Structure 1
Amino acid sequence: MSAGPTREKVSWTIEAEVLEGVRRRVPRGQVSAYATEALRRQLERDNLDELIGELVDVHGPLDEAAVAAYVRRWQ
């Protein structure tokens, strides 16, 4: 049986209005899990930004018209 992910206790300073918004949305005792998921999503975005940068370096800049068409199609 797996013990699950290793966890580490940290102390961060967060803007009061951000923390208030989280506390309004998240059940008591779930703030850490909520923050973990938010940080995980940010890491995914950062990784995608790096990948896009690498692809642009290899293949050149994105075609803005194609990007706009893609965005319109998925809205």
Structure 2
Amino acid sequence: MSEHTQKYSISMPRDIAEAARARSGPSGLSAYVAAAVARQIERDDLNELIAVAEAEHGPVVDAEVTARREQLRRAREQQSGPETNGATGASAA
């Protein structure tokens, strides 16, 4: 986060704040919360992109998602090449 920071006051449930503080480590609570908000903004942006794409092309069908995942899995296996030949624990079936 290369932009200048500004101080804000936010409210959140105590248990969430305490859990975040416990996990924030040396970077501190502010950095932890800023990273979480940045991830949420990315998700929101992605959801907006999906909505636009679905409005233009129709909704994505589960079968299409499954087919693309299988296609990616096969492509990864091909990239691994025969030299690994099960070294990663993947089955040949």
What's the TM-score bracket when you normalise by the shorter of the two chains? 0.7 to 0.9
Which sections of structure 2, spanning at least 5 residues, go unmatched? 74-93
Larger radius of gyration: 2
Q: How many residues align?
A: 68
2:10 to 9, 12, 17: 12
Taking the aligned partners of 1:66 and 1:18, their CA distance within structure 2 comes to 37
TM-score where L is the length of structure 2: 0.65
Can you list the C-alpha shifts for 1:1-45, whole angstroms capped at 9, x where unaligned? xxx411111001111110111121122661000111100000000
Query: Helix, strand or coil: the match of 2:11?
Result: coil
Residues 29, 60 of structure 1: CA spacing in aligned structure 2 closer, same or farther, 3 A cutoff? closer
Taking the aligned partners of 1:55 and 1:12, their CA distance within structure 2 comes to 34
TM-score where L is the length of structure 1: 0.79
- Give the structure 2 partner of residue 52 of structure 1: 50
Aligned-partner residue type, residue 56 of structure 1: E
CA RMSD of aligned residues (A): 1.9
